[in-house]
Structure 1
Amino acid sequence: MDPVSQSLGILDLPCELLFMVFEELKASCWDPDKRKMRIYKIQAIRNVRLTCQRFCSTSSHLLLDSVTVEMNLRSVQRFQDISQHPLIAPGVRSIRILLHYYNGSLVEDLSAYEIYNAGKIRGIVRNLEWEMNHHSRQYTDIFLNRTREGCRQAMKIAEAWEHPGQSDDEGLFKRMARSGHDIYRSLYEEQELLREQRRFTRHVAEGMARMSGARELEFCDPGFSYKPASNYDLMEYGKMMKMLASPSPWDDGEEFYPASPPCEIVFDLPLTLREIGVQLTSLRIDVSLHRPEIDVPSQEHSANLTAAMQSLRRFKYVYGELCYGQPIYHYTFAVLDNSSIEEIHLNRFPNPSECVFEQMIPQRDYPSLKKMRLESCLFHLRCLSRFLNGCNPAVFKHLDLHVMDLLDGTWAETLGILKGSCLDYFSIGCHMGGGSLILGDELWQVKWDDDCPIQFWRQLNIHHVAREISSHD
């Protein structure tokens, strides 16, 4: 080996090879319980960026593939900073918008705010008590005693807020509530400032336009999650105040203290993106659009939404709660009225009793559709047949029907329709009603077990291959 070759090192590699090395490093990060995998991947790239200027410039685009933004000034500023970063911004692929919100009804009524947070405290205490009863061996006696005392003190606070005049420490607890309420009010005012004249929508759209690879959009509501006991210390004032200032989950506006969540963003952002020349390729919605405060869009509005979705390849509406209302039908109709769509995933409970193919999916041809999953929906057999006829048999190969119900016909007839199609794979999981799946002289095995789905698929040179079929009528 000549002296020149011996002196070469990793910094002498071309940028293209360094890109591949750092991509492999990020992909290799693994968390056994899969809870912190994203954190581990980000930390790995952070460490690479700190090594030297060359490593920083060739790895920064891997730092963030997804950016989360909330409707508050701090989050919006962070989002703008990322979108303007010359090295990090090009690597962002997905924007995730958290739609939990600050509730105007709680801002206007301190008593309602106290009762609402007393309910959260009770939920935390129940969760802690259950965990201590079932997993006490994981914790030290000191921790368990402190946590039990914290639960006792927290319940005193909850009871004082729910039943004024019955606690000796009511004055202290009232001051705590007022302090939390002041912070909550200031964050609510930030939120409303961003909602005025669609400022939040404009900030997000302009940021996505600057991030050339960010063409995937997700709307979600993380809700209020009860964390493991080790994450809570109800005797620590700072953590209690953080809970009091936390936003409300989207559904609390219906269930507890009515107030309008920021519904408009789900409708306005795709239109604003189109106005500035950004076409989405993926859209996921994980919040309920069945809300009384959402107006049915006008014909012009629906046409504009359809125009904004002409490059969309993946659409998921996966909110799974019992809901009433019509607006989601208009939304999904507008979104899915395009020839580019490749994957569809719809999840809704069958209420009211209407066919998903008539109410949520336009009657049109889908030349690019490859895969579809429907959950908790109802359908007519004729509509299923019509839909399959509108798909390209050379492209559409995968169909999942999960927790579905028939509006007419039988599951045997449904299976016959699916077998007669060009699908390589189809499944029917935990179906309801419609009759038996035993098909005469064909060797389909049946096992009555709710925990295992019904599956059928085809493979090369094998006309039909059947695994265990599991269902209930």
Structure 2
Amino acid sequence: MASQTLANIDIVTALREVHQDLSEVHQFFKQWTPVKAAHHQGHMVLIERLISEIENGYYPNLEQDEVEYWRAYADSEMKSRSACRLCTAPEETLELAAAQERRRGILWAWERDLARSSLRPLKITDLPRELLRNILDYFEAPDLPIYRSMDMVEIPGRDSHKDTWQATHWLRNVQRCRLTCRLFDELASPYLLPWLRVSLNEASLRRATEISLRPHIAAGVRGVRIQLAYYYPALAQDFQEWAAAREQSMDAFVSQIWANHRVYPNRPWRERARAPTGWHLYVDDNTHEKYPEFNEVLDKCHEEYWRRSVEQSSLLADGRFVNCLAAAMARFPRSGRVEFTDSTEYEDIITPTRYRKLRYLLDSPEGFCRYLCRPDPWVMWNTSTGDEVRPAKIMAELPVAMWKAGARLEDVWIHCFPHQAFSALRPGQNQTDSLVWRQLQDACQNLRSFYCKPCDYGISCLIQEQERTHVDDFFAAMLSGSRLEIVRLELEGLGTTGDDGVTRNRWHQIGRAIAPARWPLLRALVLQGVSFHSHEFQQLCRGLGRGILEALLMRDVQLDSGSWAVALDILRGRMKAQRVRNVSIWGLEGGEVRQWYEARQGDHHGSEPPDGDPPILMEEELARLMAQYIGGSAGANANPLRNIY
């Protein structure tokens, strides 16, 4: 030990080596000789330096009893060195022996304290915080589930129904952890709300603001699901229309449960079967005397619907909802994802759990009132709801407000879309078109993924030609960023009509909106229910990075003019090598596709069906050949759309 310097050892090593020296302390003075004096002199240099660094605070975590031990040890060593020089003084020898005994007593007390049987056993709370956070990471809900389609095209996205089940499972675990102790409450709180749901009302907005002001909970919010179901002013002001809309939606809800689950009609079901008769007697004939309880429930619920409609209109008129929500999202350090939906718990996919909710709805006046007072989706067929769906502005105004507030926006999912009055997509009130769309473009420059499936109602939303510019400007601004990695446009519900109302194109002509886009980082592209001109589609494909695209899905895509062949050549150069498994093509129309069918009439692959449509086997063969060529399959080196005849 004397040959080492304190800079090369730590305090633990020094303690162990000195302790080994002390175990032989009773032999030290008995065997003292002038030959060992030189060794002792080097040992004292180390001890003096150790004491100096202890007093200067070099070891801040050293316990007080350890400090006392080292001081006693140094004192005894100093006296030992003095005794070596003056070994003729008996009183100094006795004092040295006493100091050595005190040092040995401190050492033994220290050892007994460390080795006592009553030492508290270690618990999980004694683990370092970093290790506890790693353990709690297993309670975190999945970030981006994988959509695995029937063609094995893997596209990252979010399955809201699966996430709801998983979030419930993870939530219980996190809640139990938070109830364990204060430490676990602090560490588990960031896992409590991975997705925050915000509705278009005062109470929900207030709740989101309060959550954003709690740092431990706000730190774990990764996305916000905004429910834009609407309290229509037209229904709030017309009792007859409101009651008819409620009856229609309730009948559809019951029919959907019956069709999907074949539930045996129990007592609540039979009660519901008789309900329409009573409903019509009240709504149509105003027979208040015969159904007083029914009268009271309907009047109360319609009054509440009117109150909520006024509240919602106020939030939309002054922009308070957008500004407050953007300010709250700026306080979420991990939140960069926004999902827009107009669905409620009654319009979602029917499950056994929702069937139990229906039974509660029919058996409980409170549940029935809650159902009648709910907001409505954006598409209300056969119901007079007015023209403009005002919440649609939030889809364009919120990104701009987030950009101004300094909040991140990286992922956008859109599951709702207006079915008329598409001018509602235009953000702002008193600004010029060029300014508002420019602001939306600036707000979307950091987008990583964009998913839009606007109409899932089984009936197409038809866009008038003069209103198409609003839709195109909206998509052009949202998809203008160069950092996009995932784009999913499933617009099969959007069609275009002329001024006379005659359908001109059953697919939305998206080319004008997205053809100028440049996506050099794009990894996955899904196009469904859209149409292009050939030069637009080729321009879009040229804007992709070479060898970057990993997944491509095109279904029901129409080419209004021009050729598919050139676009296929471009896409082949943009795909990663040997990615044929992640390429899916089906239902392409226009261009060489029709020529390919005509050239193969009478071929052995299929025969002409009675209605004159092309054989299905031919379409499957062409889709397979195109996918193999784009994906770079071995042996697929020739473009199948060239030299058809």
Give the alignment's TM-score, normalised by structure 1. 0.84
Number of residue equivalences: 450
- Aligned position for 1:40: 169
- Aligned position for 1:106: 235
Q: Structure 1 residue 168: deviation in Å?
A: 6.9
CA distance in 1, matches of 2:381, 2:311: 19
Code of the residue aligned with 2:364 in structure 1: it is E
Q: Structure 1 residue 355: deviation in Å?
A: 7.2
Percent identity over the alignment is 23
Find 1:20's aligned residue among 134, 140, 154: 134
* 1:337-374 CA distance string (max 9 Å, x none): 22222211112136223775522304143222222111
- Aligned position for 1:271: 400
Alignment partner of 1:118 is 2:231: no
Find 1:61's aligned residue among 177, 181, 190: 190
CA distance in 1, matches of 2:425, 2:169: 43
CA distance in 1, matches of 2:257, 2:545: 53
- Aligned position for 1:469: none
- Aligned position for 2:424: 294
Moved more, 383-392 or 250-259: 250-259
* 1:164-217 CA distance string (max 9 Å, x none): 257973444322210111111222222123223101011101100111111111
Find 1:313's aligned residue among 448, 465, 469: 448
Q: Structure 1 residue 386: deviation in Å?
A: 2.2
Alignment partner of 1:160 is 2:288: no
Find 1:245's aligned residue among 370, 373, 389: 373
Code of the residue aligned with 2:333 in structure 1: it is S
Q: Is the 8 A contact 1:121 1:158 kept in 2?
A: no
* 1:51-110 CA distance string (max 9 Å, x none): 111111111111111101011121112111211112110111101110001111111111
Q: Structure 1 residue 127: deviation in Å?
A: 3.8
* 1:258-314 CA distance string (max 9 Å, x none): 254322211211111111222311112221145315265601111111111121111
CA distance in 1, matches of 2:282, 2:523: 54
Q: Is the 8 A contact 1:332 1:360 kept in 2?
A: yes
Find 2:526's aligned residue among 366, 373, 382: 373
Find 2:474's aligned residue among 331, 338, 345: 331
CA distance in 1, matches of 2:453, 2:256: 27
CA distance in 2, matches of 1:231, 1:95: 25
What 5-or-longer segments of structure 1 have no aligned partner?
A: 137-143, 466-473
What 5-or-longer segments of structure 2 have no aligned partner?
A: 1-114, 143-160, 428-432, 497-504, 607-615, 638-645
Alignment partner of 1:82 is 2:211: yes
- Aligned position for 2:321: 200
Structure 1 counterpart SS, 2:475: helix
CA distance in 1, matches of 2:241, 2:633: 66
Moved more, 75-84 or 383-392: 383-392
Q: Structure 1 residue 398: deviation in Å?
A: 2.5
CA distance in 2, matches of 1:458, 1:15: 50
CA distance in 2, matches of 1:312, 1:66: 18
Q: Is the 8 A contact 1:376 1:403 kept in 2?
A: yes
Q: Structure 1 residue 135: deviation in Å?
A: 3.8
- Aligned position for 1:7: 121
Code of the residue aligned with 1:307 in structure 2: it is D
CA distance in 1, matches of 2:208, 2:629: 44
Find 2:385's aligned residue among 238, 241, 257: 257
- Aligned position for 1:405: 558
- Aligned position for 1:225: 347
Q: Structure 1 residue 437: deviation in Å?
A: 8.0
Against the structure 1 CA distance between its residues 62 and 8, is the aligned structure 2 distance closer, same or farther, given a 3 Å change threshold? Answer: same
Structure 1 counterpart SS, 2:445: coil
CA distance in 1, matches of 2:409, 2:182: 34
- Aligned position for 1:303: 438
CA distance in 2, matches of 1:146, 1:351: 44
CA distance in 1, matches of 2:523, 2:472: 22
- Aligned position for 2:11: none
CA distance in 2, matches of 1:457, 1:21: 46
Code of the residue aligned with 2:537 in structure 1: it is L
* 1:129-164 CA distance string (max 9 Å, x none): 5468x343xxxxxxx441233213422333224532
Find 1:428's aligned residue among 585, 589, 592: 585
CA distance in 2, matches of 1:422, 1:185: 54
Moved more, 197-206 or 309-318: 309-318
Structure 2 counterpart SS, 1:263: helix
Structure 1 counterpart SS, 2:585: strand
Counterparts of residues 104-183 of structure 1 (less than 5 Å): 104-127=233-256, 129-130=258-259, 134-136=262-264, 144-165=265-286, 169-183=290-304
* 1:375-412 CA distance string (max 9 Å, x none): 11112333332222221103233321122223245767
CA distance in 2, matches of 1:103, 1:389: 44
| More relative contact order, 1 or 2 (CA 8 Å, 6+ apart) | 1
Code of the residue aligned with 2:303 in structure 1: it is D
- Aligned position for 1:139: none
CA distance in 1, matches of 2:165, 2:560: 43
Code of the residue aligned with 1:163 in structure 2: it is D
CA distance in 1, matches of 2:439, 2:234: 33
Against the structure 1 CA distance between its residues 25 and 95, is the aligned structure 2 distance closer, same or farther, given a 3 Å change threshold? Answer: closer
Code of the residue aligned with 1:363 in structure 2: it is P
Structure 2 counterpart SS, 1:369: coil
Q: Is the 8 A contact 2:479 2:517 kept in 1?
A: no
Find 2:544's aligned residue among 391, 395, 399: 391
Q: Is the 8 A contact 1:90 1:211 kept in 2?
A: yes
Code of the residue aligned with 1:232 in structure 2: it is L
Q: Is the 8 A contact 2:472 2:510 kept in 1?
A: no
CA distance in 2, matches of 1:407, 1:173: 56
Against the structure 1 CA distance between its residues 259 and 355, is the aligned structure 2 distance closer, same or farther, given a 3 Å change threshold? Answer: closer
Against the structure 1 CA distance between its residues 170 and 164, is the aligned structure 2 distance closer, same or farther, given a 3 Å change threshold? Answer: farther
CA distance in 2, matches of 1:194, 1:355: 32
Code of the residue aligned with 1:252 in structure 2: it is M
The structure whose Rg is larger is 2
Q: Structure 1 residue 427: deviation in Å?
A: 1.8
Q: Return the structure number with greater helix share.
A: 2
CA distance in 1, matches of 2:529, 2:116: 69
Give the alignment's TM-score, normalised by structure 2. 0.63
Against the structure 1 CA distance between its residues 250 and 459, is the aligned structure 2 distance closer, same or farther, given a 3 Å change threshold? Answer: closer
